[in-house]
A = this chain, B = another copy of it.
Amino acid sequence: MTVSYRLSEIVAQLGGRVLGDAAVRISQIATLENAQPDQISFLTNSKYRAQLASTQAGAVILGAEDADETKLPRIISDNPYAYFARVSALLNPLPEAQPGIHPDAIIGEGAVIDPTASIAATTVIGRGARIGANCVIGEGCIIGTNVVLGSHARLYPRVVIYHDCVIGENLIAHSGAVIGSDGFGFAMDAGRWVKIQQIGRVVIGNDVEIGANTTIDRGALDDTVIEDGVKLDNQIQVAHNVHIGAHTAIAGCVGIAGSTTIGRYCRIGGSAGILGHLQIADHVEIAAFTLIGKSIREAGTYAAIFPFAKAEDWRRNTVHLRHLDDLVQRVKMLEQELKAINLKN
A contact residues vs B (CB 8 Å cutoff): 28-31, 34, 79, 81-82, 84-86, 88-89, 91-92, 95, 104, 106, 120-122, 124, 138-140, 142, 145, 156-158, 160, 162-163, 172, 174-176, 178, 181-182, 184-189, 191-197, 199, 207, 209, 211-213, 215, 217, 221-222, 229, 231, 233-235, 237, 239, 247, 249, 251-253, 255, 257, 265, 270-271, 273, 275, 285-294, 300-311, 313-325, 327-328, 330-331, 334-335, 337-338, 341-342, 344-345
Chain B residues in 8 Å Cβ range of A313: 322
A163 to B138, CA, bound (A): 12
How many copies the complex holds: the figure is: 3
Please state if A310 and B300 are interface contacts (CB–CB under 8 Å): yes
The answer to whether A320 and B328 touch (CB under 8 A), given A235-B235, A270-B255, is yes
Q: List 30 A-B contacts (CB under 8 A).
A: A31-B221, A85-B194, A88-B197, A89-B197, A122-B122, A174-B178, A178-B212, A192-B247, A193-B207, A212-B217, A213-B235, A234-B239, A235-B255, A257-B270, A270-B275, A290-B306, A292-B308, A302-B308, A302-B314, A303-B310, A304-B306, A304-B309, A307-B321, A317-B324, A317-B325, A330-B335, A331-B334, A334-B334, A334-B335, A334-B338
Also in contact, A235 and B237, with CB within 8 A (given A106-B122, A288-B291, A309-B304): yes
CB of A283, distance to nearest CB on chain B (Å): 12
Take A309-B322, A335-B334, A345-B344 as given contacts and tell me if A251 and B302 are in contact as well, using a CB distance cutoff of 8 Å. Answer: no
Q: Give min CB distance, A196 to chain B, whole Å.
A: 4
Chain B residues near A156 (CB, 8 Å)? 160, 162, 181
Give the docked Cα–Cα distance between A192 and B85 (Å): 12
Q: Compute how far the CA of A117 lies from the CA of B188 in the bound complex, rounded to whole angstroms.
A: 29
Contact B311 A302 (CB under 8 A): yes
Interface contact A157-B160, CB-CB below 8 Å: yes
Chain B residues near A88: list those with CB within 8 A: 196-197, 199
**Shortest beta-carbon distance from A104 to chain B in Å:** 6
A255 touches B231 (CB 8 A): no
Contact B275 A273 (CB under 8 A): no
- A304, B311: Cα distance in complex, Å: 8
Chain B residues with CB below 8 A from A324, complex form: 317-318, 320-321
Q: Give the residues in chain B near A331, CB-CB below 8 Å.
A: 327, 330-331, 334
Contacts A89-B195, A176-B213, A237-B234: A140 and B142 contacting too (C-beta < 8 A)?
Answer: yes
Among candidates B193, B285, B335, B337, residue contacting A229 with C-beta atoms closer than 8 Å: B193
B139 lies within 8 A of A142 (CB): yes
Whether B79 and A187, one on each chain, are in contact in the complex, defined by CB atoms closer than 8 angstroms, is yes
Q: Which residue of B lies closest to A81 (CB)?
A: B187
Q: In the assembled complex, which residues on chain B have CB atoms less than 8 Å from the CB atom of A142?
A: 138-140, 157-158, 175
A31 to B168, CA, bound (A): 26
Given A195-B89, A271-B291, are A211 and B181 also a contact pair (CB < 8 Å)?
A: yes
Query: Are A92 and B197 in contact, CB atoms less than 8 angstroms apart?
Result: yes
**Which residue of chain B has the shortest Cβ distance to A88 in the bound complex?**
B197
Give chain B nearest CB distance to A339 CB in angstroms.
9
